[in-house]
């Protein structure tokens, strides 16, 4: 993230506030610890503007709505609807208009969410803050802050602007929403090196973060758009990218629209040349357009995606935008935040070191502490007594609140029986809380023998300097600093935060002095190593992602050592050093792409860095999903093909920028979402295959009949009925097709592959051609046999209905045989298909409908003939599948796409 600037006046080079001493900061800003005068503050407010974010003007709703109708397929359907209305085919006209309305509504909702993203981000601005003006403390609206104002901070307050701190008393700020750090940042006032990243700017408090504990004072160095949060606001207002499904659907619509228009114009002109009636040909063209164009495809997409949404909701994944269901299924890279996503976002003590050795207290053979060595129990007890964490008052809740380190040490000691809750909460004789500049806390407690015991915990260096001996199994021994130092380095290299403990007996003759003097003469007890542990099941989820051909990359603002340690535990380590934000500044996009190909960990990255990583991955053809929970994740969430936010711990900004929200904040849920996404896309693909093959069959059959010189194969009203009975509801029912079971054993669909694979295009071609040929031949045979045109059309139409009946069932599986699937696995498809046959039989039998449609009843023998011809399409598909399965077994490297 670039250096913050103060918009208080022109400057050739923006000041590096973190590298300046406090006096220099005040001098540069023409301010002082007494703050600005009201007059000067008003002048600066008029100059730089309010401390709030600029919002990009929102596109008018009517323009967003009109954009949803810019499509060749939509244009054709609009014409068909208008012509149907003019011809008084009201049902068809209303149905087409309804389809168009649903499709437009989905797109409208997709684009309208951009404004909500910005509104959510603005909620992080502090409404009021405490400011020093003219040497007097007062409360002002946060929007009135200007560079040079002096702001007071206390525990529980939100930082109202970017501040350069000049006074700090045990000040700790939770910056996880910006930096991804697991630990609260301890703040001080000393100048820093010029090239430190935002996460290491310990003398700066950033706008929107929370003060966890302590107090401080800072001078405003940036407001509004110039703050860290303001830059994220700018990044998040980039346009959302279209999902792969949307791109594929638009491409297919253009191809279908061009093909159908060309064919209809050709049929009309050729028909006129062959002597057919122009009015009849025009009505035929309109009816054929309705029968051929898969106008139900938008509804099928909606239904399939909605079914996917319902299935995913049952697995703790909430979809905000319907196309995201499929997008996650086609993702081949997941860029995941670490803190709170891959990890618990809660510190846990994992290792305890004493002179007896290193104990892993979270190992598989952990006995819960009942057999912990005496030395380990002493370490845990000391950590729990010099401690300010409080146990939740809620019954049955054993969680601790307060400083994350204190909470972790208190919990492990109580859980393992090293100390009881009553002992831990007993009043201390004396207590000195942790001070960052001292790097230790200490407390005096009375033991069961009435002795006063001084317990101290803090940095290993501070405790070691105050120690005179080290605890051993047989009693205190001589202090071995090299041994302790080696243990500290080893635990730190594993990404653990290391805290040391020590103790000594306070003599009866020692007078208690408050505040407590610096500790001395301690017995060094040992070390506690803690970290934010991986969530249960995440390692297995990552393994399943890798099995499914999905690369998982950790992208975090946390320290590289910590990130790498967690990555190794999760199976993400690639053997290469973690990429860092500082390293990225020296890499162009090509070099960054190569670096990303060799590592799965990016650490100490800013929001701009994370956004750049996403864009570079996408530029190489990857379909990228990004997970996150903080404000710092929002730009990348919005720019990715799909953003996945945490529902429990996530910020409103992250959730509003995301397409998918995990209600359990669990990365494991993403694997379930991937599976459901692939199931959903498979259902869309199967339905599209069915619609295209039957539509192509109708188009080819009618076209050939025009050139064959026969009477019209189907009357316009018959083609409208054919559209209803062959795919009016079966295609929608096909969208309910469940999983086949092998979704996570296949690699992601290649991005170059369209909505249909080459296999399905080939299958649609051969089955569509056969269906067209079978229908036309049956019509010609019936005419040559002396049947009337009415009877011949009835036989041809019924054969087309039966061909579509068997085709929809063959479409249930792309590779498996239909006979390997359970017949009742998709009950809606079975019932709607049988219902369509019954409806067709009914309209042929009832004299009124038969006369209206120009049909006549068929004999039982003729029905058997139609069923037999119709089943041939199933035989063709099953034979083609069998050949492909044989080919895969004997030539496994063959490309089957």
Tens of pLDDT, residue by residue over 686-715, are 988 998 898 889 888 888 887 777 787 887
Q: What is the mean pLDDT of the chain?
A: 81
Question: Catalytic: which of 92, 117, 198, 337?
Answer: 337
pLDDT at residue 841, as a whole number: 94
For residues 483 and 65, which has the higher predicted lDDT (pLDDT)?
A: 483
Question: Is pLDDT above 80 for 457?
Answer: yes
- CA distances 350 to 309, 366, 403, 409, Å, are 38, 11, 17, 10
20 by DSSP, 3-state: which?
Answer: coil
Question: Is pLDDT above 80 for 867?
Answer: yes
Question: Is pLDDT above 50 for 549?
Answer: yes
pLDDT at residue 365, as a whole number: 46
Q: Are 172 and 213 spatial neighbours (Cβ–Cβ below 8 Å)?
A: yes
Question: Is pLDDT above 60 for 103?
Answer: no
pLDDT at residue 870, as a whole number: 94
pLDDT at residue 813, as a whole number: 87
Question: Which tokens go with 348?
Answer: 């846990």
Q: Are 544 and 671 spatial neighbours (Cβ–Cβ below 8 Å)?
A: yes
**Between vectors from CA 161 to CA 157 and to CA 164, what angle results, nearest 5°?**
95
Q: For 745-755, write each residue's pLDDT tens digit.
A: 778 877 667 77
pLDDT at residue 362, as a whole number: 64
pLDDT at residue 120, as a whole number: 44
CA 178 to CA 231: how far, in whole Å?
11
Q: For 763-811, write each residue's pLDDT tens digit.
A: 999 999 999 999 999 999 999 998 999 999 999 999 999 999 999 999 9
Of 470, 97, 532, 576, nearest in space to 299 by CA: 97
Q: Which residues pair with 504 in a beta bridge?
A: 454
For residues 569 and 79, which has the higher predicted lDDT (pLDDT)?
A: 569
Q: For 302-315, write each residue's pLDDT tens digit.
A: 677 777 777 887 88
Of 386, 387, 385, 412, nearest in space to 399 by CA: 412
The verdict on whether 609 is a catalytic residue reads no
b/e burial code for range 355-373 (CB count within 10 A of at least 16 → b): beeebebeeeeeeebeebe
The number of residues making up the chain comes to: 897
Least confident of 193-202, 628-637, 645-654: 645-654
Mean pLDDT for the stretch of residues 78-106: 66
Q: Are 690 and 813 spatial neighbours (Cβ–Cβ below 8 Å)?
A: no
- CA distances 240 to 53, 110, 334, 681, Å, are 20, 9, 18, 21
Question: Is pLDDT above 80 for 541?
Answer: yes
For residues 497 and 92, which has the higher predicted lDDT (pLDDT)?
A: 497
E-strand stretches of 119-240:
128-133, 136-141, 150-154, 162-174, 185-186, 204-205, 210-222
Query: Which one of 307-321, 423-437, 449-463, 715-729 scores highest in mean pLDDT?
Result: 449-463
Q: Which residues pair with 646 in a beta bridge?
A: 662
The alpha carbon torsion through 243, 244, 250, 255 (nearest 10 deg) reads 180
Q: Are 253 and 73 spatial neighbours (Cβ–Cβ below 8 Å)?
A: yes
pLDDT at residue 4, as a whole number: 43
Which residues are CB-neighbours of 666 under 8 A, at least 6 positions away? 316, 535, 537, 538
pLDDT at residue 845, as a whole number: 92
- DSSP H stretches of helix in 708-788: 716-727, 730-734, 758-784
Q: Are 129 and 162 spatial neighbours (Cβ–Cβ below 8 Å)?
A: no
pTM assigned to the model: 0.66
Q: Are 188 and 168 spatial neighbours (Cβ–Cβ below 8 Å)?
A: yes
CA 158 distance to own-chain centroid? 27
CA 844 to CA 85: how far, in whole Å?
26
Question: Is pLDDT above 90 for 871?
Answer: yes
């Amino acid at each position: 993230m670039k250096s913050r600037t103060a918009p208080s006046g022109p400057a050739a080079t923006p000041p590096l506030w973190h590298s300046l001493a406090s006096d220099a900061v005040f001098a540069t800003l023409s301010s002082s610890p007494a703050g600005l005068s009201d007059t000067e503050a008003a002048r600066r407010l008029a100059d730089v503007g309010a401390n709030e974010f600029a919002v990009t003007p929102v596109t008018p709703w009517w323009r967003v709505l009109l954009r949803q109708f810019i499509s060749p397929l939509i244009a054709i359907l609009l014409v068909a609807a208008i012509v149907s209305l003019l011809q008084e085919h009201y049902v068809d006209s209303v149905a087409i208009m309804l389809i168009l309305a649903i499709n437009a509504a989905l797109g409208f909702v997709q684009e309208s969410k951009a404004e909500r993203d910005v509104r959510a981000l603005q909620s992080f601005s502090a409404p009021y803050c405490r400011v020093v003006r003219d040497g007097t403390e007062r409360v002002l609206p946060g929007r009135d802050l200007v560079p040079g104002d002096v702001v007071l901070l206390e525990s529980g307050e939100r930082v109202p602007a970017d501040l350069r701190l000049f006074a700090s008393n045990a000040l700790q700020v939770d910056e996880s929403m910006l930096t991804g750090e697991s630990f609260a940042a301890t703040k001080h006032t000393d100048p820093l090196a010029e090239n430190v990243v935002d996460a290491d700017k310990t003398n700066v408090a950033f706008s929107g973060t929370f003060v966890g504990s302590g107090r401080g004072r800072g001078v405003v160095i940036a407001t509004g758009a110039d703050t860290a949060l303001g830059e994220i606001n700018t990044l998040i207002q980039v346009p959302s990218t279209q999902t792969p499904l949307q791109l594929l659907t638009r491409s297919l619509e253009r191809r279908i629209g061009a093909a159908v228009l060309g064919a209809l114009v050709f049929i009309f002109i050729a028909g006129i040349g062959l002597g057919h009636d122009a009015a009849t040909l025009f009505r035929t063209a309109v009816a054929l357009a309705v029968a051929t164009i898969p106008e139900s495809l938008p509804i099928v997409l909606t239904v399939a995606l909605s079914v996917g949404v319902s299935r995913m909701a049952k697995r703790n994944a909430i979809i905000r935008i319907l196309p995201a269901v499929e997008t996650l299924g086609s993702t081949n890279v997941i860029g995941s935040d670490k803190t709170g996503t891959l990890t618990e976002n809660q510190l846990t003590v994992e290792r305890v070191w004493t002179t007896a050795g290193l104990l892993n207290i979270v190992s598989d053979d952990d006995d819960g502490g009942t057999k912990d060595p005496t030395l380990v129990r002493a370490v845990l007890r000391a950590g729990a007594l010099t401690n300010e964490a409080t146990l939740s008052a809620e019954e049955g809740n054993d969680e601790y609140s307060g400083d994350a380190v204190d909470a972790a040490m208190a919990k492990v000691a109580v859980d393992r029986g090293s100390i009881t809750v009553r002992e831990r909460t007993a009043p201390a004789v004396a207590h000195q809380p942790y001070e960052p500049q001292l790097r230790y806390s200490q407390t005096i407690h009375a033991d069961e023998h009435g002795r006063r015991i001084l317990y101290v915990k803090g940095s290993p260096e501070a405790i070691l300097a105050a120690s005179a001996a080290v605890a051993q199994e047989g009693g205190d021994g001589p202090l071995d600093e090299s041994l302790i130092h080696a243990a500290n380095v080893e635990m730190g290299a594993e990404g653990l935060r290391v805290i040391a403990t020590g103790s000594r007996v306070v003599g009866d003759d020692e007078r208690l002095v408050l505040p407590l003097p610096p500790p001395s003469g301690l017995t060094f007890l040992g070390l506690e190593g803690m970290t934010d542990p991986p969530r249960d099941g995440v390692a297995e989820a990552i393994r399943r992602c890798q099995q499914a051909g999905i690369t998982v990359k950790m992208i975090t603002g946390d320290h590289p050592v910590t990130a790498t340690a967690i990555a190794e535990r999760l199976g993400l380590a690639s053997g290469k050093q973690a990429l860092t934000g500082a390293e990225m500044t020296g890499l162009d996009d090509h070099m960054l792409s190569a670096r990303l190909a060799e590592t799965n960990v990016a650490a100490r990255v800013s929001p701009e860095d994370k956004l750049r990583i996403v864009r570079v991955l996408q530029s190489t053809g990857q379909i990228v999903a990004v997970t996150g929970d903080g404000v710092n994740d929002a730009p990348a969430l919005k720019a990715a093909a799909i953003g996945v936010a945490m529902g429990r711990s996530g910020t409103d900004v992250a959730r509003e920028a995301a397409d998918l929200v995990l209600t359990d904040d669990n990365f494991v849920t993403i694997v379930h979402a991937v599976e459901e996404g692939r199931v959903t896309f498979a259902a869309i693909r199967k339905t599209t295959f069915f619609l295209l093959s039957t539509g192509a069959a109708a188009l080819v059959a009618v076209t050939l009949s025009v050139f064959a010189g026969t009477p019209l194969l189907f009357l316009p009203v018959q083609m409208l009925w054919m559209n209803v009975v062959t795919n009016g509801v079966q295609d929608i029912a096909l969208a309910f097709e469940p999983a086949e079971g092998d979704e996570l054993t296949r690699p992601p669909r290649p991005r170059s592959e369209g909505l249909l694979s080459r296999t399905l295009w080939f299958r649609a071609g051969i089955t569509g051609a056969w269906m067209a040929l079978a229908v036309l031949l049956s019509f010609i045979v019936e005419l040559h046999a002396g049947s009337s045109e009415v009877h011949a059309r009835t036989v041809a139409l019924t054969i087309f209905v039966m061909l579509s009946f068997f085709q929809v069932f063959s479409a249930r599986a792309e590779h498996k045989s239909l006979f390997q699937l359970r017949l009742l696995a998709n009950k809606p498809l079975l019932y709607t298909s049988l219902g369509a046959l019954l409806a067709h039989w009914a309209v042929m039998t009832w004299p009124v409908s038969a006369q209206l449609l120009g049909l006549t009843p068929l004999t039982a023998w003729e029905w058997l003939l139609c069923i037999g011809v119709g089943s041939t399409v199933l035989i063709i598909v099953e034979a083609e599948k069998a050949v492909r399965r044989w080919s895969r077994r004997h030539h496994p490297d063959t490309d089957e796409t």
